[in-house]
Homo-oligomer: A and B are copies of this chain.
Amino acid sequence: MRKENAPRSRRLRMTAQRRVILEELRQVDSHPGAEEVFTMVRRRLPRISLATVYRNLDVLAAAGAIARIDTGSSLKRFDGNAERHYHIRCIRCDRLVDAMVEVQKDFEAHVQSKTDFRILGHTLELTGICPRCEEQAAERA
C-alpha cells in the first residue's frame, strides 16, 4: 500500500471540481480512467487540473461515493504455480497468499446466460486482514 486511505473523519468540502467530477461520473456507464474523467470534466471546468481529478477520485472513492475498479497494488505480480486458483490479499500490508478454495467454474456458465459477451474466464481476489496485521492492530489497541 502506498497511500493512506483511511476514512478519517474530516469533513469534505463540496467544491465545484468535486461536484462536477461526481456528476459527470454518474452520467456515464463507461467506467472511465482518470484521464478520461479529466476530459469530460474539463468541458465544464476548463481550468481544472489533472492532479485535482486524481485527488478527487481518491477522495470520492474513499468516501464511498464512487467505486474504484482495478483495485490492488500498482505492480503486477507473478505466480510460479500456473494452476488456476484464487488469492487473498491483505489490505494492510498487501501480502498475497493462495486461497484454499475451489475455483467457481460454473459461475462463468451462469453469467454466460445473461450476457452477450462470450465469457472466457474470470478472476477473483479475496481481501481481508492477514493474521500478522491483525495482531499488530490488537497490540496498538
Contacts and interface: CB of A to CB of B under 8 A. Distances in A.
Interface of A: 22, 25-35, 37, 57, 61, 64-73, 75-82, 84, 87-88, 90-91, 96-101, 104, 107-108, 110-111, 114-131, 134
B124 A80 contact: no
Contacts of A107: 104
Copies of this chain in its oligomeric complex: 2
Contact of A128 (B88, B98, B121, B127): B121
B117 A33 contact: no
23 contacts: A26-B81, A29-B80, A29-B98, A33-B78, A64-B82, A65-B82, A67-B81, A68-B76, A69-B77, A69-B78, A70-B72, A72-B123, A99-B115, A100-B115, A104-B107, A115-B126, A115-B128, A118-B134, A119-B127, A120-B129, A122-B124, A123-B124, A124-B124
